[in-house]
């Protein structure tokens, strides 16, 4: 750096509950002190504690809720917005490097002013593999989002939380002026702590884009390396396959169609479709032994489909979108992509023994119509196996009665994005598809599962989290009403 080009001034504000993670906090402080910027660090804590020399400690909570602590960073940034060039917020276990900052500054020059380069968290998993922990549950890459600006390709990940963000002074001022940055702690799509670090994207008019063509520059290490379970496993080849498809879309400009809208409009996006569903024995055990061919409608990463194929069944999958569908490449599973109409056309003339539908019926505006259309692809006497959340269980009815946030919307598909699935509705939908229900199975809420067998059936239904149904197609009908 020369006198004519002074080092950038960087304000870092980190939230640090208690003292359990102070070892990570110290690592972060060391990393920032090695940078070529003029760095000032502020640590937010709910308790008084020792911090490294030169680090500013601010003790106190915005509200009585301990998870409101991260929101305290906003006013600090706003008060000092004219004193620094760059502003970082992060949790005390997320490592932002100088390489990340330099990449952010470089890429920001080519993006529209409404877009901000974002970071993707990873952990070091078993055998040295990276686990990309932002991809789990209903979070996924938007297949229509890849775009090119200059030499860079970007994509939108529906999980905007990465436990950190970086803003220039101009971007921070825009966020403040938008009216969505400052204000009391709140939550909706994300929980309280996560909302504090996603507000720039969800309330201030910015869009967070991940630079997938130079992804290594935008990876931030979540130091605890604790999310290593199967639900956090988009790593290695599975992740790379998704990335390759996104890069291809970015190059050719052809926007693929997703099968359905998978995210609900409810708080915390509850009842959204899980893109990484595990193999569940209580479901796959209901597939009749006579089944040899299966059409899986609305598949995610393909764990269940691969399990079925490994047991000798011929599996055709209709993925939620071609990006997540890429995870099944090389597994012996046929993938047919597109919206329902396109998929139905591609499968015209094919026949299957079983139609498998996992947790998407409640997300459809027209479940009866979709069931009817795809039941026509079944052989006479074929089966439909479906699992869905039980939307009319006792918990939901109680929260609806007391007016709990979001639960009142469950009765309205337009407002909630979910159908009010019940036994009666399932019976009606299957009947319209020319199928008679042979098995109805109730999956208890976790707190009741150990003794659900002892609960009388009517109460068991009321206390169930999910409903599994197996219907058999009329031997004489061809997808018409009985």
Q: CA–CA separation, 154 vs 214, rounded Å?
A: 9
Residue that is last in its domain, among 194, 220, 252 = 252
Question: Residues 195, 141: contact at Cβ < 8 Å?
Answer: no
Same domain assignment for residues 317 and 200: no
Distances (CA, A) of 31 to 24, 27, 120, 138, 155: 11, 6, 18, 33, 28
For residue 455, give the DSSP letter.
S
Distance CA 112, CA 101 (A): 18
Q: 481 lies in a domain?
A: no
Residue pair 421/467 in contact by the 8 Å Cβ criterion: yes
pLDDT for 402: 87
Q: Give domain status of residue 261, yes or no.
A: no
3-class secondary-structure state, position 291: coil
Please state the domain count of the chain.
2
- From CA 346, how far away is CA 444, in angstroms rounded? 38
What proportions of the chain, in percent to the nearest 5, are helix, strand and coil?
A: 35, 25, 40
169-178 helix and 72-79 helix, angle to the nearest 10 degrees:
120
The pTM (predicted TM-score) of the whole model is 0.92
Residue 482: its pLDDT value, please? Answer: 29
What does the block give as tokens for 161?
């939380």
Asked if residue 258 is part of any domain, the answer here is no
Q: Same structural domain for residues 18 and 109?
A: yes
Picking from 436, 439, 440, 431, the residue whose alpha carbon sits closest to that of residue 458 is 440
Report d(CA 294, CA 283) in Å as an integer: 14
Report the CATH number that the domain containing residue 208 is assigned in CATH. Answer: 3.90.550
Residues 172 and 285 occupy one common structural domain: no
A 10 A CB-CB count for 139 gives 21
Q: Cα 334 to the chain's mean position, in Å?
A: 25
Q: Which runs of E-coded beta strand occur in 205-341?
A: 207-211, 219-222, 293-299, 314-319, 334-335
Residue 135 maps to a domain: yes
User: Which of 219, 252, 285 is the C-terminal boundary of a domain?
Assistant: 252
Q: Residue 4 domain-assigned? A: no
DSSP code for 339: -
**Same domain (yes/no): 205, 331:** no
Domain end point (choices 193, 219, 252):
252
Together in a domain, 37 and 99: yes
464-473 and 378-389: which strand pairing?
Answer: antiparallel
Task: Identify whether residues 281 and 162 lie together within a single domain.
Answer: no
Distance CA 51, CA 171 (A): 29
**Contact (CB, 8 A) for 93 and 220:** no
CA distance 425 to 481: 15
One domain, residues 167 and 18: yes
| Contact between residue 472 and residue 438 where contact means Cβ atoms under 8 Å apart | yes
* Residue 304 shares a structural domain with residue 242: no
* Neighbour tally for 329: CB within 10 Å: 14
User: Which letter does DSSP use for residue 20 in this model?
Assistant: T
Range(s) of the domain holding residue 15: 9-252
Claim to verify: residue 184 and residue 285 sit in the same structural domain: no
Q: Which two tokens stand for residue 293?
A: 């061919």
| CATH number of 289's domain | 3.40.50.150
334/318 Cα distance (integer angstroms): 9
pLDDT of 235 reads: 56
Q: Are 470 and 433 in contact (CB under 8 A)?
A: no
Q: How far apart are the first and last CA of the chain?
A: 80
Please indicate, yes or no, if residue 480 is contained in any of the structural domains: no
DSSP state of 480: S
Task: Indicate whether 291 and 361 sit together in one domain.
Answer: yes
For residue 423, being part of any structural domain is answered with: yes
Region at 379 (left for phi over 0; alpha for psi -120 to 50; beta for the rest):
beta
Of 362, 134, 405, 399, which Cα lies nearest the Cα of 260? Answer: 362
* Token couple for 49: 């504690």
The full length of the chain comes to 482
**What is the β-pairing status of strands 352-358 and 293-299?**
parallel
* Residue 427 CB coordination number (10 Å): 16
Residue ranges of the chain whose pLDDT lies below 70:
1-4, 228-236, 476-482
Same domain assignment for residues 342 and 436 = yes
Which residues in 360-425 belong to E strands, given as ranges? 378-389
Q: Looking at the domain assignment, is residue 185 inside a domain? A: yes
Same domain, residue pair 101 and 229: yes
Percent of the chain with pLDDT over 90: 80
All residues at 6 or more sequence positions from 274 whose CB lies less than 8 Å from its CB, including other chains: 137, 138, 300, 359
Residues 21, 49: contact at Cβ < 8 Å?
no
Helix (H, G, I), strand (E, B) or coil at 29: helix
Cβ-in-10-Å burial (0-12, 13-18, 19+) of 209 comes to buried
- Tell me what pLDDT residue 356 has: 98
């Amino acid at each position: 750096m020369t006198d004519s080009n002074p080092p950038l001034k960087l304000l870092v504000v980190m939230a640090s509950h208690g003292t359990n993670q102070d070892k990570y906090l110290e690592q972060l402080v060391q990393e920032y002190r090695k940078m070529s910027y003029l760095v000032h660090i502020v640590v937010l804590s709910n308790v008084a504690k020792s911090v490294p020399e030169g680090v500013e400690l601010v003790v106190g909570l915005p509200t009585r809720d301990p998870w409101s602590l991260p929101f305290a960073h906003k006013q600090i940034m706003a008060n000092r917005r004219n004193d620094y060039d760059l502003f970082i917020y992060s949790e005390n276990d997320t490592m932002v490097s100088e390489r990340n900052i330099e990449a952010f500054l470089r890429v920001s020059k080519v993006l529209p002013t409404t877009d901000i380069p974002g970071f993707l968290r990873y952990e070091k998993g078993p055998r040295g593999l990276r686990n990309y922990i932002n991809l789990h549950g209903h979070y996924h890459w938007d297949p229509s989002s890849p775009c090119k600006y200059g030499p860079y390709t970007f994509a939108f990940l529906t999980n905007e939380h990465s436990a950190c963000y970086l803003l220039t002074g101009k971007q921070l001022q825009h966020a403040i002026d938008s009216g969505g940055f400052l204000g009391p702690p709140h939550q909706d799509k994300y929980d309280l702590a996560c909302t504090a670090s996603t507000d720039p994207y969800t309330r201030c008019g910015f869009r967070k884009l991940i630079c997938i063509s130079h992804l290594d520059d935008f990876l931030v290490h979540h130091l605890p390396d604790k999310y290593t379970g199967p639900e956090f496993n988009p790593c290695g080849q599975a992740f790379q396959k998704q990335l390759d498809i996104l890069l291809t879309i970015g190059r050719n400009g052809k926007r693929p169609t997703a099968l359905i809208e998978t995210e609900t409009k409810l708080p915390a996006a509850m009842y959204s479709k899980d893109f990484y569903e595990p193999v569940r024995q209580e479901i796959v055990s209901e597939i009749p032994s006579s089944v040899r061919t299966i059409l899986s409608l609305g598949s995610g990463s393909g764990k269940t489909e691969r399990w079925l194929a490994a047991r000798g069944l011929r599996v055709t999958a209709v993925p939620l979108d071609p990006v997540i569908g890429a995870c099944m490449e090389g597994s012996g599973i046929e993938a047919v992509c597109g919206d329902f109409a396109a998929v139905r056309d591609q499968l015209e003339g094919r026949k299957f023994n079983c139609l498998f539908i996992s947790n998407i019926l409640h997300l459809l505006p027209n479940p009866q119509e979709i069931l009817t259309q795809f039941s026509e692809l079944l052989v006479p006497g074929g089966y439909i196996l479906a699992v869905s959340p039980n939307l009319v269980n006792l918990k939901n009815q109680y929260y609806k009665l007391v007016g709990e946030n979001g639960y009142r919307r469950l009765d309205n598909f337009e407002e909630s994005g979910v159908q009010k699935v019940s036994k009666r509705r399932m019976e009606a939908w299957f009947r319209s598809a020319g199928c008679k229900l042979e098995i109805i199975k109730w999956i208890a809420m976790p707190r009741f599962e150990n003794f659900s067998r002892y609960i009388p059936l009517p109460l068991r239904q009321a206390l169930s989290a999910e409903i599994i149904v197996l219907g058999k197609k009329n031997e004489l009908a061809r997808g018409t009403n009985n």
